Structure 1
Amino acid sequence: MQQFIDYCMGKIGASADYPFGPEPLVMKVGGKMFALISNSSISLKCDPVIAENLRQQHSSVKPGYHLNKKHWNSIEIDGSLTVQDINDMIDHSYTLVVKSLPKAKREALV
């Protein structure tokens, strides 16, 4: 999981927080969550159409656990997806969240 934490932390403006206790680690940008990382899974924001497609294609991708199931996926880290696949999902989540930030916060990230 450390490789995904490191990847998330490499994003511009990313910060780590534990608002729910010792787990999950919550990755934020502009004060908004883009990833929740636990010992065996990572939850990521996702476009609803893409989210549904990923769930149909991969048994390790499920509706977001304790999250809005339309907009979040929880991915079991079980080796069925490549690191690059998961990094691509992290990129997508980060981009969606950045796009939703107010203009001033978006501009502060550049």
Structure 2
Amino acid sequence: MGVVDVAHLQVYCLAKPGAWPDNPWEHDYPVIKVGPEERGKIFAFLGSEGVGVKSGRSREVADEWLHRFPGDATVMAYIGRSGWNTLAFGGAIPDEDLLDAVDESYRLVVEGLPRKLRPEGWEG
């Protein structure tokens, strides 16, 4: 079993330039956004069992996770068609891959922001 859990991932996400927590749906865990408050975009949906991340610009790219980790990577409800997956903690997905997935989600979301809204210090 890995050491990455929701608490670890929240700290990891919030250490990224411009990242901040929001709880628009009053869940047990926040979503993590990047960008100015009113225009911030989610890059991580934290949950007790896993994390929702943007896994690719297209569903085809995101589907690579489903093939590599059947049962531990699933298409997110509602936004899965846009390349979002849920990745489970403590299963077949190595911790390093979970952290890499968060990094990639952050990168994809920041690149989608207008240049003037991208945080200083992010690596593009």
TM-score, with normalisation over the residues of structure 2? 0.81
- Please tell me whether the aligned partners of residues 27 and 33 of structure 1 are also in contact (alpha carbons under 8 angstroms): yes
Q: Match of 1:37?
A: 46
RMSD of the alignment, in Å?
1.4
Q: Match of 2:93?
A: 81
The answer for unaligned runs of 5 or more in structure 1 is none
Structure with the bigger RCO (C-alpha within 8 Å, sep 6+) is 2
- Is 1:2 the counterpart of 2:13 in the alignment? no
Q: Match of 1:13?
A: 18
Task: Single out whichever of 85-94 and 38-47 deviates more from structure 2.
Answer: 38-47
| Residue 74 to residue 16, structure 1, CA distance change in 2 (3 Å) | same
Q: 2:27 aligns with which of 22, 27, 31?
A: 22
The answer for unaligned runs of 5 or more in structure 2 is 1-5
Deviations 1:12-41 (A, max 9, x none): 000011111133420000100000011111
Task: Single out whichever of 43-52 and 64-73 deviates more from structure 2.
Answer: 64-73
CA-CA distance at 1:53 after TM superposition: 0.9
CA distance in 1, matches of 2:106, 2:24: 19
CA-CA distance at 1:3 after TM superposition: 1.0
Q: Give % identity.
A: 28
CA distance in 2, matches of 1:23, 1:46: 23
TM-score, with normalisation over the residues of structure 1? 0.90
- Please tell me whether the aligned partners of residues 45 and 96 of structure 1 are also in contact (alpha carbons under 8 angstroms): yes
Q: Match of 2:65?
A: 54
| Residue 35 to residue 105, structure 1, CA distance change in 2 (3 Å) | same
Moved over 2 A (4+): 65-70
Q: In structure 1, the residue corresponding to 2:77 is in which secondary structure?
A: coil
